[in-house]
């Protein structure tokens, strides 16, 4: 690898090549050499293309909040923005035969994955939709007479290198219109691969494919014959191929390659960037932007602060910060002060996560001649590679993180010794306590202001014990620390892992003990008793943590095993000991007071949580029960055997294991949605989440912020509840329980734990995070991020053998590319490629959207416009849906009175022309009032021709609005074709939004004679079980009220046969609902093969900068012979009906049409269930009274 950077998206013209590097567009000689910048925006750029005459470049780059098409002169200058789509899918794809730019985007579509092709003039203006339907790419062939063939590539779920060897329903397909008449047919349908980037090259059609297992360049004749392979790349996919009609240029592993023609071998280009990199320059950390954990010390005077993988010690009121961990290329997390001048945290030095203990105030290494102590013997540092394996050139390779043995003893940091806690014994030789103390006091004489408050002795003891050393404790693999808590006395550190282990480290001896091990998920809640004797935790007993139990353990006696506090019947979480040592408090969802659903016949438990106490000793009464003695009467208390009658500072916690689960005491507060329990003196604290909708559609205004919890305090003696803080994100209590550190909107505040505080009271402290200063080296940050993403897949991918993939070999192959990255966007691309090697669904990389600072969204009016001689005419106002707050057109609002045929003359007083488009005048207008000048059209009758001004608020996104229009159009089609007897329901996803959409018309549509359930475009989620139960109901009876229409039993059971429509965009849980519909016989599936991704994720992990990375962890297996086959294949329909490009162009929906016809046929054989006639029921009037017997 000799390239100077990571090159992407190449194109060529004449003797020049253009590409993207370091988030900018560059030009270089085709023969190689020094490149120069065309842009200097430092924003993600895509697909630069030379214009056919070679004078300009056109590409997409973020402008405002979304990528837009821009152009610039090759010779410099002339920068111009051509589009104002405001949509994340916008990309340049080439040029039409007439020289217009071909752009793909979903900005006018009801489905953001359906990118359509548009023809855009080079000077900008109106983008004309091309008649191909959803496409990923378009390639126009050479003109032959009056015919011009065209090849289009189907929309991809992601590019081939990001899911290697993908074979599901959205695998790339090529369609060809051989004579330009608008009729398409599949090109090379026999290739079972992911085809992309079609190009016309020298009379052949070239394209990328991985049908042989590797991503390479191929070509065929326009007839589909004579398949040839032109590259032989095995280690990395060939990507982003482009052509000038004769030559082909592409990238692979961030390098550029050129084929002079299809009969030649590819040649790699040697290019050097001609300016210093700005994106690789170290930059000051923005702490608030990357704020992680904030954990206060014992007194609440200072906190350990985590930000972007660095850890700092920060006094709350004033003073400088102190760096605890900011080693380049290392991520620190889960910081926990030990209360004795030390801090514990997790860090991944040498690529292996371990528990570290470090002095907050440590001696600074120096070489002063005044120090006469002898230098320690030199220690050969370990490199992670055995000496026998070292070879010439080995220093260029990055060694893999070494597996850590599952041993109980502490593994020390390289070159360091174990530092025991004060009063403990040293685990290794070295400097004495006295000399350590002398060095520490000398070095830190001027650092007293950053030591823990009130910790003079403790800080000195720590400095004495640890000096500059940091103890390191290995975490047995495979695992990952999920929680960390230190005992109040600093001796013990409890560690819970993502695989259900609980470890305790003795900081005095260095011993690590395994307290418990389960196989049901993460240990997330750890808590210590005030006397540091008992550890409590919550552990799941079922997958996904639906039920969990509380357990206790004594770290002094790990072999005794844990004590069950609760039995795991409910979800018991957030344990915490009360300061008096009498109770273990916790939150549990064991409140069963349901509420009726407001839309359908159902009951649910939306607020099932209450706080509870467990009396630890058998003789401890409920604090809420009757007292034995009246106030003022002294009752002698028997002193338990083995304890002192003398009072002590910290009460001893006594646990009677027998009967613990039966000593649960409910706290007298209403049920709710509570999290994060804490226990200050005489009280409980928790977060109270107000009940609110999942989608946010039920808010008073869509501009309102999402609901956040309040911090509630419950006084145990007064039995009174109060609110300390109205709104926050999280909180953490100080060790002495007197202070609470709040995190809210990336700001940190400190308040007392016993009363509400504000700035006027003087008890509220705002913490200045700007005092944390550390320079972040991007290359080191990217390297750590890559290694962590690789480790997460190694440890959490669903198959322990990585499904046969050599994952260590993948690391060796990809890791050197990190050194060539030029931006965070490059890192995201590389991580996608890394994940793509798994060949598995749901291996995502999710970075925060990149926008220009201060940008507002592109405004939209919720209408279709066309430029006519009269001006910008409104051709359609989208009707929307009154029950969907995001599906209302601004021009359909009351008082606007706009109609189709009106002319939009001006926006905010600026006249509109062909060159000054409405979109140009709506930049940054989303959510802000604008003035429109309208000319009334014929629809206004006598007022036609009248100008008027109206105020509207443009929306940021029309997708929901166009989606509801699409659903309504489909329903009209079904009604008209069935004479009003068939119902239609569309389910857009298997999440809250899809559940809401399903119920909008559930009652109406299931009451008809037949039903079409459309799961096309379904984006997946987790509610397929609920949907399958609902659409799979069968009528088994009728409710027959007088004066009302009969109703099915059960409610909403379809009354007639059901048809299920599915397509390649139905994926994940959309795959599952399709497969379940077949297995349960809900109805025949019509359409095309689905996406093929059923290895689910939990979205649990993010990298240090917040970039989300997911691990395919939850594989799905089906019965009846289906097995594992849905993954990377999809669900085959019962009846295949394809949706070719020309059907989209004609405005037809062949799948829906076929479904209607099939339903008509089914109804002949499976008649609709009808309510019975009101006859044949038992008569209430008795028969005539029979005569009595004679003589009786």
Distance CA 826, CA 67 (A): 16
Q: Which two tokens stand for residue 722?
A: 């109060």
Q: Which two tokens stand for residue 114?
A: 């359906």
DSSP state of 431: S
| Catalytic-residue membership of 557 | no
Give the other-Cβ count within 10 Å of 1173's Cβ: 7
pLDDT, mean of residues 852-867 = 92
Q: Which residue has the tokens 């991918």?
A: 797
Give the chain's end-to-end CA distance (angstroms, integer).
Answer: 117
CA 516 to chain centre: 31
Residue of 167, 169, 170, 168 lying closest to 156 (CA atoms)? 170
DSSP 948-962: EEEEE--BS--HHHH
Catalytic residue among 316, 1127, 1129, 1142: 1127
**Tens of pLDDT, residues 865-909:** 999 999 999 999 999 999 999 999 999 999 999 999 999 999 999
Contact 1071, 1092 (CB under 8 A): yes
pLDDT, mean of residues 63-75 = 95
Q: Which two tokens stand for residue 896?
A: 């606007």
pLDDT, mean of residues 220-239 = 98
Query: Is the confidence at residue 425, as pLDDT, over 70?
Result: no
Contact 551, 563 (CB under 8 A): yes
pTM for the model: 0.90
Residue of 91, 97, 86, 77 lying closest to 49 (CA atoms)? 91
Distance CA 846, CA 839 (A): 18
- Check residue 1011 and give its pLDDT: 98
Q: Which two tokens stand for residue 974?
A: 């079904």
Q: Which two tokens stand for residue 1169?
A: 């269930």
pLDDT, mean of residues 1124-1148 = 98
Give me the count of residues in the chain: 1192
Contact 523, 497 (CB under 8 A): yes
Residue 1034 CA neighbour count, 13 Å, CB half: 6
pLDDT, mean of residues 1155-1162 = 98
Q: Which two tokens stand for residue 255?
A: 């390098």
User: Is 1120 exposed, middle or buried, given 0-12, 13-18 or 19+ CB atoms closer than 10 A?
Assistant: exposed
Find the helix or strand (DSSP H, E) in which 206 lies. Answer: strand 204-209
Q: Which residue has the tokens 């620190």?
A: 332
Cα distances from 686 to residues 299, 587, 610, 613, 673, in angstroms, run 20, 9, 10, 14, 10
Query: Is the confidence at residue 1096, as pLDDT, over 80?
Result: yes
Distance CA 934, CA 66 (A): 28
Catalytic residue among 87, 349, 842, 940: 842
Distance CA 277, CA 823 (A): 9
Contact 992, 1040 (CB under 8 A): no
Coil/strand/helix, residue 998: helix
Percent of the chain with pLDDT over 90: 82
What residues contact 368, with CB distance under 8 A and at least 6 apart?
Answer: none
DSSP 647-687: --SSPPP----TTGGG-EEE-SS--B-EEEEE--TTEEEEE
Domains and CATH numbers, the chain: 135-246 (2.120.10.60), 779-834 (3.30.750.44), 863-955 (2.30.42.10), 960-1093+1128-1165 (3.90.226.10)
Least confident residue range of 423-427, 609-613, 948-952, 1158-1162: 423-427
Find the helix or strand (DSSP H, E) in which 71 lies. Answer: strand 66-73
**Range with top average pLDDT, 373-377, 557-561, 824-828, 1042-1046:** 824-828
**Tens of pLDDT, residues 336-383:** 999 999 999 999 999 999 999 999 987 777 655 444 444 333 333 333
Q: How does residue 1175 score in pLDDT terms, banded at 50, 70 and 90?
A: very high
Residue of 1003, 960, 1009, 959 lying closest to 985 (CA atoms)? 1003
- Check residue 648 and give its pLDDT: 55
Q: Which two tokens stand for residue 1058?
A: 């059901």
Q: Phi, psi at residue 450, to the nearest 5°?
A: -105, 5
Alpha helices in 467-562 (DSSP H): none
- Check residue 367 and give its pLDDT: 58
DSSP 961-992: HHHHHHHHHHHHHHHHHTTT-EEEEE---BSH
Q: Which two tokens stand for residue 667?
A: 């706290």
Distance CA 568, CA 1000 (A): 37
Strand partners for 512: 505
Interior/surface letters 227-247, b for 16+ CB within 10 angstroms, e for the rest: eeebbebeebbbbbbbbbeeb
What residues contact 215, with CB distance under 8 A and at least 6 apart?
Answer: 160, 161, 164, 208, 209, 233, 236, 237, 238, 239
HEC secondary structure over 296-362 = ECCCCCEEEEEECCEEEEEECCCCCEEEEECCCCCCEEEEEECCCCEEEEEECHHHCCEEEEEECCC
Q: At what angle do helices 807-814 and 824-836 cross, to 10 degrees?
A: 150
- Check residue 703 and give its pLDDT: 80
Q: At what angle do helices 1150-1165 and 959-977 cross, to 10 degrees?
A: 40
Q: How does residue 1108 score in pLDDT terms, banded at 50, 70 and 90?
A: very high
User: Is 1114 exposed, middle or buried, given 0-12, 13-18 or 19+ CB atoms closer than 10 A?
Assistant: middle
Least confident residue range of 644-658, 723-737, 799-813, 1066-1080: 644-658
Contact 552, 562 (CB under 8 A): yes
Strand partners for 343: 337, 358
Cα angle value 919/925/931 (rounded, 5°): 85
**Tens of pLDDT, residues 466-510:** 334 578 999 988 889 999 999 999 999 999 999 999 999 999 999
Q: Which two tokens stand for residue 612?
A: 């509870």
Strand partners for 296: 303
Distance CA 13, CA 39 (A): 18
| Catalytic-residue membership of 1005 | no
Residue of 913, 1091, 932 lying closest to 1016 (CA atoms)? 1091
- Check residue 757 and give its pLDDT: 87
Find the helix or strand (DSSP H, E) in which 1029 lies. Answer: helix 1024-1031
Catalytic residue among 1068, 1077, 1129, 1142: 1068
Q: Which two tokens stand for residue 59?
A: 């590409």
Contact 574, 612 (CB under 8 A): no
Contact 154, 169 (CB under 8 A): no
**Tens of pLDDT, residues 688-722:** 999 999 998 998 888 888 889 999 999 999 999 99
Distance CA 124, CA 58 (A): 11
What residues contact 854, with CB distance under 8 A and at least 6 apart?
Answer: none
Residue of 72, 7, 84 lying closest to 40 (CA atoms)? 72
Query: Is the confidence at residue 386, as pLDDT, over 80?
Result: no
What residues contact 1006, with CB distance under 8 A and at least 6 apart?
Answer: 983, 985, 1048, 1052, 1053, 1054, 1055
Q: At what angle do helices 992-1000 and 1024-1031 cross, to 10 degrees?
A: 20
Cα diameter, the chain: 136
């Amino acid at each position: 690898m000799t390239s100077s950077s990571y090159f992407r998206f190449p194109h060529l013209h004449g003797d020049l090549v253009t590409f993207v590097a370091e988030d900018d567009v560059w030009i270089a000689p085709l023969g190689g050499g020094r490149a120069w910048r065309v842009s200097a925006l430092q924003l993600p750029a895509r697909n630069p293309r030379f214009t056919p005459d070679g004078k300009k470049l056109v590409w997409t780059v973020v402008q405002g909040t979304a990528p837009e098409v821009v152009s610039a002169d090759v010779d410099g200058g002339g920068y111009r923005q051509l589009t104002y789509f405001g949509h994340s899918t916008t990309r340049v794809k080439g040029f039409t035969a007439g020289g217009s730019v071909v752009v793909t985007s979903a900005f006018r579509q009801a489905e953001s994955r359906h990118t359509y092709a548009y023809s855009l003039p080079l000077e900008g203006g109106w983008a004309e939709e091309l008649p191909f339907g959803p496409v990923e790419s378009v390639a126009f062939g050479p003109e032959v007479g009056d015919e011009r063939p065209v090849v289009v590539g189907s929309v991809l779920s992601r590019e081939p290198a990001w899911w290697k060897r993908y074979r599901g329903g959205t695998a790339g397909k090529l369609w060809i219109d051989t004579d330009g008449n608008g009729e398409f047919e599949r090109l090379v349908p026999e290739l079972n691969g992911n085809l992309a980037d079609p190009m016309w090259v020298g009379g052949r059609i070239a394209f990328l494919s991985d049908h042989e297992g590797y991503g390479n360049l191929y070509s065929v004749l326009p007839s589909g014959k004579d398949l040839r392979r032109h590259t032989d790349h095995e280690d990395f996919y060939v990507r982003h191929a482009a052509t000038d009609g004769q030559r082909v240029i592409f990238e692979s592993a961030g390098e550029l390659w050129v084929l002079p023609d299809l009969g030649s071998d590819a040649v790699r280009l040697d290019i050097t960037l001609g300016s210093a990199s700005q994106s690789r320059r170290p930059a000051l950390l923005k702490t608030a932007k990357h704020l992680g954990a904030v954990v206060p010390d014992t007194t609440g005077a200072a906190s350990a602060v985590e930000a972007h993988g660095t850890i700092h010690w920060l006094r709350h009121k004033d003073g400088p910060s102190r760096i605890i961990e900011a080693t380049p290329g290392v991520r620190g997390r889960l910081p926990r002060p030990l209360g004795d001048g030390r801090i514990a945290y997790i860090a991944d030095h040498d690529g292996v996560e371990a528990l570290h203990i470090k002095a907050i105030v440590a001696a600074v290494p120096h070489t002063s001649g005044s120090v006469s102590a002898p230098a320690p013997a030199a220690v050969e540092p370990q490199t992670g590679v055995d000496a026998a394996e070292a070879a010439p050139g080995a220093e260029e390779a990055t060694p893999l993180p070494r597996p850590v043995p599952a041993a109980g003893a502490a593994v020390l940091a390289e070159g360091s010794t174990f530092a025991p806690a004060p009063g403990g014994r040293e685990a290794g030789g070295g400097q004495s306590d006295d000399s350590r103390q002398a060095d520490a006091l000398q070095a830190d004489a001027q650092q007293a202001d950053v030591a823990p408050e009130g910790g003079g002795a403790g800080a000195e003891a720590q400095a004495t014990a640890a000096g500059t050393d940091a103890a390191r404790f290995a975490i047995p693999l495979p695992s990952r620390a999920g929680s960390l808590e230190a005992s109040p006395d600093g001796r013990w550190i409890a560690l819970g892992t993502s695989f259900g282990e609980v470890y305790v480290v003795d900081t005095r001896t260095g011993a690590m003990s395994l307290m418990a091990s389960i196989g049901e998920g993460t240990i997330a809640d750890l808590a210590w008793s005030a006397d540091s004797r008992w550890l409590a935790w919550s552990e799941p007993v079922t997958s996904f943590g639906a039920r969990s139990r509380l357990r206790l353990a004594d770290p002094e006696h790990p072999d005794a095993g844990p004590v069950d506090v609760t039995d795991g019947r409910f979800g018991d979480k957030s344990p915490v000991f009360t300061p008096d040592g009498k109770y273990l408090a916790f939150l549990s969802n064991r409140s069963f007071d349901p509420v009726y659903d407001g839309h359908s016949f159902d009951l649910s438990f939306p607020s099932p949580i209450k706080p509870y106490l467990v009396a630890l000793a058998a003789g401890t009464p409920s604090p809420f029960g009757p007292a034995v003695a009246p106030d003022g009467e002294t009752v002698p208390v028997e002193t338990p055997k083995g304890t002192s009658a003398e009072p002590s500072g910290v009460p001893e916690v006594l646990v009677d294991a027998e009967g613990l689960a039966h000593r649960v005491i409910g706290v007298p507060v209403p049920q709710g949605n509570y999290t994060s329990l804490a226990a200050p003196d005489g009280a409980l604290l928790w977060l109270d989440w107000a009940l609110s909708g999942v989608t946010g559609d039920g808010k008073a205004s869509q501009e309102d912020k999402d609901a956040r919890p309040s911090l509630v305090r419950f006084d145990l003696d007064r039995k009174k509840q109060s609110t300390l803080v109205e709104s926050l994100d999280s909180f953490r209590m100080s060790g002495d329980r007197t202070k609470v550190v709040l995190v809210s909107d990336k700001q940190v505040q400190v308040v007392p734990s016993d009363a509400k505080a504000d700035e006027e009271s003087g008890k509220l402290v705002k913490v200045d995070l700007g005092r944390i200063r550390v320079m972040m080296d991007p290359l080191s940050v990217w390297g750590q991020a890559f290694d962590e993403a690789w480790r997460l897949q190694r440890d959490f991918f669903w198959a322990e053998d990585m499904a046969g993939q050599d994952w260590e070999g993948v690391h060796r192959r990809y890791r050197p590319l990190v050194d060539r990255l030029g931006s965070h966007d490059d890192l995201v691309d590389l991580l996608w490629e890394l994940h793509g090697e798994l060949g598995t669904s749901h291996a995502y990389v999710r970075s925060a959207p990149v926008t220009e600072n201060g940008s507002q969204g592109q405004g939209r009016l919720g209408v279709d416009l066309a430029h006519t001689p009269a001006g910008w005419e409104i051709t359609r106002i989208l009707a929307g849906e009154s029950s969907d707050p995001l599906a209302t057109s601004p021009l359909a609002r009351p008082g606007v009175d706009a109609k189709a045929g009106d002319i939009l003359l001006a926006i905010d007083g600026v006249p509109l022309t062909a060159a000054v488009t409405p979109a140009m005048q709506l930049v940054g207008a989303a959510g802000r009032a604008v003035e429109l000048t309208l000319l009334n059209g014929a629809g206004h009758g006598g007022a036609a021709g009248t100008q008027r001004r109206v105020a509207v608020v443009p929306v940021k996104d029309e997708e929901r609005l166009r989606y509801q229009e699409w659903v309504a159009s489909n329903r009209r089609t079904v009604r008209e074709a069935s004479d009003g007897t068939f119902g239609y329901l569309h389910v857009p996803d298997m999440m809250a939004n899809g559940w809401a959409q399903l119920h909008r018309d559930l009652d109406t549509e299931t009451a008809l004679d037949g039903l079409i359930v459309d799961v096309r475009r379904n984006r997946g989620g987790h509610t397929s079980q609920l949907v399958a139960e609902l659409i799979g109901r069968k009528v088994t009876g009728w409710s027959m009220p007088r004066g009302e229409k009969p109703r099915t039993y059960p409610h909403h059971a379809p009354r007639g046969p059901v048809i299920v429509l599915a397509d390649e965009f139905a994926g994940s849980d959309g795959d599952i609902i399709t497969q379940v519909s077949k297995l349960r016989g809900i109805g025949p599936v019509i359409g095309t093969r689905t996406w093929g991704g059923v290895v689910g994720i939990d979205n649990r992990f993010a990298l240090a900068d917040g970039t989300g990375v997911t691990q395919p962890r939850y594989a799905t297996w089906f019965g009846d012979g289906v097995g594992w086959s849905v993954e990377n294949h999809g669900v085959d329909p019962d009846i295949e009906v394809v949706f070719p490009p020309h059907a989209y162009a004609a405005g037809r929906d062949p799948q829906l049409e076929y479904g209607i016809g099939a339903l008509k046929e089914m109804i002949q054989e499976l008649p609709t269930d009808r309510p019975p006639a009101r006859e044949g029921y038992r008569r209430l009037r008795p028969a005539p009274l029979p005569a009595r017997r004679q003589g009786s």
